[in-house]
Structure 1
Amino acid sequence: MSIVIEQPVEARLVAAAPRMPSIPATLRYDRRDPFAVRMTFPAPATLEGVEVCWTFARDLLADGLHGPEGHGDVRVRPYGYDRTVLEFHAPEGTAVVHVRSAEIRRFLKATSDLVPLGLEHLRLGLDHDLAELMRDA
């Protein structure tokens, strides 16, 4: 069984212009970091012209499907039934994208099949990590 799930999604950048251009993005989940998800935007879709990856809690993404969540750099909220808004706050500015909620639900289902929500702590391997630290001491 794979330990990493990657799913391309179509994000629509919310801008001042009436047309919202689509940009490709990738949602990624790694069982070795069970609490986190990553959303990556390719270089052509960013102001800096370099790939940008945001890391945030899987719970934030799941909870944001049902109501506004987040108070920091990443915020998630529903936009009707079929869209979810993700806001990414950085010193350079804020990016707001819409993603189809069905794509996020499909991604979260796949991550939950890999590591069920609420059981992430069982995948941390803290005993193994502690033993490795003590071995070197």
Structure 2
Amino acid sequence: MPQHPVTPLPSPRTLKRHMPMELLTPDASVPVDTTVGYASRDPHALSIAFHLPGEHPIVWWLDREMVLTAAHTPTGAGEVHLRATPGGDFLIRLGSPGECATVRCARDGLTRFVHETLALVPPGTEEHHIDWQPLLASLRR
């Protein structure tokens, strides 16, 4: 099998921001310590780590394009749904219907974070940041 030259990957880049969020319950909203993250090696995804007392963080993944779409229209599939509120927030539903949590965060803060990721990895260039070699090596076995 011919070997193709390997184009070097751009240097990996990461972003992390503390972002205030609230878990919405039927009776109250509860502040949750939350970190939003981005790694250029996984260029389509944002991570949201919920830091709960006495536990390891619980991490959910969102597509960065979903966040931009949700600013205009509700979006989501499977266990992640986003929608904007008239008050300037996002409501993020995580989990399957009936067993889900709804989290509120500032729309401007999350959207600004996504725009920072777009400056690191512009739309249409994502595939140049993914290290395909481990996958290709496993397929050759």
Compute the displacement of 1:102 (Å): 1.1
Aligned partner of 1:70 in structure 2 is 76
- Aligned residue pairs total 130
AA aligned to 2:13 is I
Aligned partner of 2:37 in structure 1 is 28
AA aligned to 1:40 is A
CA distance in 1, matches of 2:97, 2:90: 23
Task: State yes or no: 1:80 paired with 2:90.
Answer: no
Preserved CA contact (<8 Å) 1:77 1:84 = yes
SS for the counterpart of 2:137 is helix
CA distance in 2, matches of 1:131, 1:39: 26
C-alpha offsets along residues 47-69 of structure 1, whole Å, 9 cap, x if unaligned? xx442001231212221122110
1:41-60 maps to which residues of 2 (within 5 A)? 41-44=50-53, 49-60=55-66
Structure 1: state its 5+ residue gaps: none
CA RMSD between the two structures: 2.6
1:102-113 maps to which residues of 2 (within 5 A)? 102-113=108-119
Preserved CA contact (<8 Å) 1:88 1:95 = yes
Structure 2: state its 5+ residue gaps: 1-10
AA aligned to 2:39 is D
Aligned partner of 2:16 in structure 1 is 6
Compute the displacement of 1:71 (Å): 2.0
Higher helix share: 1
SS for the counterpart of 1:21 is strand
Instruction: Describe the shift of the 1:97–1:131 C-alpha distance in structure 2 as closer, same or farther (beyond 3 A).
Output: closer
1:89 aligned residue (71, 89, 95): 95
TM-score by length of 2: 0.79
Preserved CA contact (<8 Å) 2:14 2:38 = yes
The higher radius of gyration belongs to 2
SS for the counterpart of 2:42 is coil
C-alpha offsets along residues 33-82 of structure 1, whole Å, 9 cap, x if unaligned? 1011110101229xxx4420012312122211221101211111101151
The share of aligned pairs that are identical, in percent, is 22
Aligned partner of 1:39 in structure 2 is 48
C-alpha offsets along residues 5-34 of structure 1, whole Å, 9 cap, x if unaligned? 0011111111111x3121121111000110
AA aligned to 2:118 is S
